[in-house]
Amino acid sequence: MKKNLFWRIVSRVFHPMSMPLWCVVLYYLLTPQSFVPLEAIYTAIVVAVATVVIPLPVLLVLKVSGKIESLSLPQTYERRLPLLLVLLLLAAGDRIYLSGRVSPAVSLAMYGAVISLLLAYVSLFWDKVSLHAMGISALLVFVMVLMFRWEAPLSYALPVVAALWVVYDLVVMARLELGRHNVRQIILGTLFGALPQLVLLGWVW
C-alpha cells in the first residue's frame, strides 16, 4: 500500500497536464538571459489556463456526469475529448497570446506540446500511449536542448539534466508499477513527447 502511495504521488506531482507549466517554470528559472518578470508571470498564466484551469473543471463535469470513470482516464475512449480540448486551447493560447510576445524557445516548446498531443490523439484510434511518459520526456528534451543552445558549462548542465533523468525514470516506473501502461505504450509516449521538442528546438529554433 505504501509503495503504491509513493507511485501515485509521483504520478500526481508530474501529471501530464502540468508538464507545459513545468517547461515555463524551468525555462525562467534556468535561463542565463535577462527577462522581464512580468513576461514569466504572463506566460505561466496563459499556459496554466490552457492546460489546467479550463480542462480540470471540464474533467470534473465529465466525471460527475458519468462520461469518464476517473480523472486518470484509464479507458482509451475517455481520452479523446480531454486531449482535443487541451490541444486546441494550447494551440490557440500559443498562437494568440505567446507567439512573438515571449521567448521563441518557450513558444516553440508549446508548439511541440501541441504536436505531441495531436500524435497522442491520433494514436487513440488504435491504442493509448503513456501521457505521463510523453510529458516528462518532452520536459527532459526541452531542458537538454536549452542547455546545449545556451552552451551551459557541464558543472551546471549535468546536475540539472541528471535530476530530470531521475524524474523521468520515476514517472515511467510509477506508470508500470501501477499497471497503467505497458512498455510499448511507455516507449511510444516517450517518442511522442521527445521528438517534437527535439525537431522544433534543435533545428527550427
Q: Above 90 in pLDDT, residue 11?
A: yes
CB 109 within 8 Å of CB 23: yes
> What's the mean per-residue pLDDT of the chain?
91
pLDDT, tens digit, for every residue of 63-103? 888 878 877 777 888 888 889 999 999 999 888 888 778 88
User: Looking at residue 3, what is its pLDDT?
Assistant: 65
- The lowest-confidence range among 95-109, 137-151, 157-171 is 95-109
Helices 131-149 and 154-177 cross at an angle (nearest 10°) of 170
Q: Which residue has the cell 511510444?
A: 188
CB 12 within 8 Å of CB 72: no
Mean pLDDT on 145-161: 94
User: Looking at residue 100, what is its pLDDT?
Assistant: 77
